[in-house]
């Protein structure tokens, strides 16, 4: 049986097998202990329930380790080949659901090593030469996180391309821009979408940047001080695709700052997705009606037949909190640990895995949903006409007539007050009505009071003019592809 993320599930029948605990667990530590591990303690300290998802990386790392040991003469080529064959067989068993995970063997590493020894005999016991579970697990996590970052980058890119496609269809679609959630100035829907793109592009840049720090090899640090065997860490790093080796053995086995850095980036991704979600929740309401989300991303009500609830944005908005919690868990986990490795670090995996799973699911949902949004073009345009969104344009018009901006601001404020009393937009006031506030206002003022005139006037890099939005989309596509390499 497998979990939704294709990780094998622990066979629950083994959790109550106290006899297995007594016969196996003390064997892992050799002769130091005079009594077997308590059954509850064995279950309490075990991690195989969740770290079994690292099996692929654990086997990958072990194959590289065995290959390196053979290259320096610690293993024979025949022993290396037996180990690799055995590990490949174990991976096939895991992925087919035939592998039995045992809680008395504590973690993914010992489960695999125990099975390897059963398969190939004493040679299996030689695999752990020159390494510890401390550097082994640090390597597994880095390999796993590296793989996940690469997958998240692809999902981010899919979402960003979807945003670019939608934005390119609406470079001229006018909507109100907001500050304080109050109508401020007209913008184009394409320009607003490009703000989402910029947020997510920075998120991708952070993932690419932190991946370099993840992609360093701890293996060879052993428990904390290195090993007396003539290992070749650079060769192991090359086999595993690491860019560098961790320079200090104490640091390599004990720090999890790379996981914290990833979770911090994950929290920022979720913060951005949550902001977008909040806008979608608002925009799909009857009070806004700016966009429609396809039915397949929504649910109804068990009692109110008319309801169409934006569940996907709401849920992603809520899930941001759990990733924030994952970040705080990891920060708190590390803050009091002396060098080097401590058992506390067993608690690093579940927050990291949860952050990865949550971000992955959220990006997957958004990547499918965002390109399918349908804007209500006329509704957005009508909303931009409310709230005197071209007031700043009138102030700018007066400044160009050599009126100081503060005086122009006051003049426009009086014109807006008249519009409020009359329930008319500035563009609906007559020339005579406008001239009572300034004789410098002439007929040409109405060109700047239109929504299209307002957005077209912002014709500079980063502005909302349709011409600039089209250019921004073209540049953005190139920037995204350059980031992906």
How far apart CA 177 and CA 184 sit, in angstroms, is 6
Identify which of 33, 12, 15 has the alpha carbon closest to the alpha carbon of residue 104.
15
At residue 28, the pLDDT reads 59
How far apart CA 18 and CA 15 sit, in angstroms, is 8
- The answer to whether 243 and 67 are in contact (CB under 8 A) is no
At residue 30, the pLDDT reads 56
Domains 133-382 and 388-467 share a fold: no
Does 460 qualify as catalytic in the annotation? no
At residue 27, the pLDDT reads 53
**What CATH number belongs to 38-127?**
1.10.275.10
- The answer to whether 191 and 464 are in contact (CB under 8 A) is yes
Residue 29 CB contacts under 8 Å (≥ 6 apart), including other chains: none
Q: Which residue in the list 88, 272, 301, 454 is annotated as catalytic?
A: 301
**What CATH number belongs to 388-467?**
1.10.40.30
Q: Which residue in the block uniquely carries the two structure tokens 């990833």?
A: 262
Domain positions in the chain are 38-127, 133-382, 388-467
**What CATH number belongs to 133-382?**
1.20.200.10
**CA atoms in the 13 A half-sphere facing the CB of 7:** 17
At residue 300, the pLDDT reads 85
Angle at 473 between CA 147 and CA 375, to 5 degrees: 95
Token digits for 239?
């086999």
Q: What is the pTM of this model?
A: 0.90
At residue 29, the pLDDT reads 54
Q: Which residue in the list 34, 180, 302, 439 is annotated as catalytic?
A: 180
Model pLDDT for residues 258-306, shown as the tens digit of each residue: 999 999 999 999 999 999 999 999 999 999 999 999 999 988 888 887 8
How far apart CA 405 and CA 402 sit, in angstroms, is 9
At residue 11, the pLDDT reads 43
Q: pLDDT tens, position by position, for the chain (485 residues)?
A: 334 344 444 443 333 333 334 444 445 555 677 777 778 887 888 999 999 999 999 999 999 999 999 999 999 999 999 999 999 999 999 999 999 999 999 999 999 999 999 999 999 999 999 999 999 999 999 999 999 999 999 999 999 999 999 999 999 999 999 999 999 999 999 999 999 999 999 999 999 999 999 999 999 999 999 999 999 999 999 999 999 999 999 999 999 999 999 999 999 999 999 999 999 999 999 999 999 999 999 888 888 878 899 999 999 999 999 999 999 999 999 999 999 999 999 999 999 999 999 999 999 999 999 999 999 999 999 999 888 999 999 999 999 999 999 999 999 999 999 999 999 989 999 999 999 999 999 999 998 899 999 999 999 999 999 999 999 999 999 999 999 99
At residue 7, the pLDDT reads 44
- The answer to whether 14 and 103 are in contact (CB under 8 A) is yes
Does 274 qualify as catalytic in the annotation? no
């Amino acid at each position: 049986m497998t979990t939704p993320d294709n990780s094998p599930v622990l066979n629950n029948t083994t959790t109550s097998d106290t006899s297995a605990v007594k016969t196996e667990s003390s064997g892992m530590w050799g002769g130091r202990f005079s009594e077997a591990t308590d059954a509850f303690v064995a279950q309490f300290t075990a991690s195989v329930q969740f770290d079994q998802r690292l099996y692929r990386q654990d086997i990958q790392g072990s194959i590289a380790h065995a290959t390196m040991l053979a290259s320096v003469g610690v293993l024979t080529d025949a022993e290396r080949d037996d180990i690799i064959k055995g590990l490949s067989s174990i991976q096939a068993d895991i992925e087919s659901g035939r592998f039995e995970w045992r809680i008395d063997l504590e973690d993914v590493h010992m489960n695999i090593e125990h099975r390897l020894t059963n398969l190939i005999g004493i040679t299996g016991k030689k695999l752990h030469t020159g390494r510890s579970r401390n550097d082994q697990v640090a390597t597994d996590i880095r390999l796993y996180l590296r793989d996940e970052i690469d997958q998240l980058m692809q999902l981010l890119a899919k979402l960003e391309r979807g945003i670019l496609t939608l934005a390119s269809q609406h470079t001229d679609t006018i909507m109100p821009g907001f500050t304080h959630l109050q109508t401020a100035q007209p913008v184009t829907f394409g320009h607003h979408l490009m703000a989402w793109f910029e947020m997510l592009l920075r998120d991708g840049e952070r993932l690419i940047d932190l991946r370099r720090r993840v992609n360093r090899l701890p293996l060879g640090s052993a428990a904390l001080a290195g090993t007396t065997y003539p290992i070749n860490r650079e060769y192991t790093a090359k086999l595993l695709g690491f860019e560098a080796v961790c320079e200090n053995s104490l640091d390599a086995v004990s720090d999890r700052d790379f996981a914290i850095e990833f979770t911090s980036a994950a929290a920022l991704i979720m913060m951005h997705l949550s902001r977008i979600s909040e806008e979608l929740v608002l925009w799909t309401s009857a009070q806004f009606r700016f966009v429609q989300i396809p039915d397949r991303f929504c649910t109804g009500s068990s009692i109110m037949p008319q309801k169409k609830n934006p569940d996907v944005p709401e849920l992603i908005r809520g899930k941001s909190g759990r990733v924030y919690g994952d970040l705080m868990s990891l920060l708190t986990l590390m803050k009091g640990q002396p060098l080097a490795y401590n058992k506390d670090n067993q608690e690093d995996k579940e927050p990291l895995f949860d952050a990865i799973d949550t971000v992955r699911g959220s990006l997957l949902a958004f990547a499918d949903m965002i390109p399918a949004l349908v804007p209500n073009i006329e509704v957005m345009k009508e909303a931009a006409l409310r709230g005197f969104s071209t007031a700043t344009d009138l102030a700018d018009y007066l400044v160009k007539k050599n009126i100081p901006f503060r005086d122009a601001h006051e003049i426009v404020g009086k014109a807006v007050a008249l519009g409020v009393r009359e329930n008319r937009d500035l563009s609906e006031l007559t020339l005579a009505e406008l001239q009572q506030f300034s004789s410098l206002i002439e007929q040409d003022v109405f060109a700047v009071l239109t929504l299209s005139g307002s957005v077209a006037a912002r014709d500079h890099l980063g502005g909302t003019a349709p011409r600039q939005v089209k250019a921004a989309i073209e540049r953005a596509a190139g920037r995204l592809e350059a980031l992906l390499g």
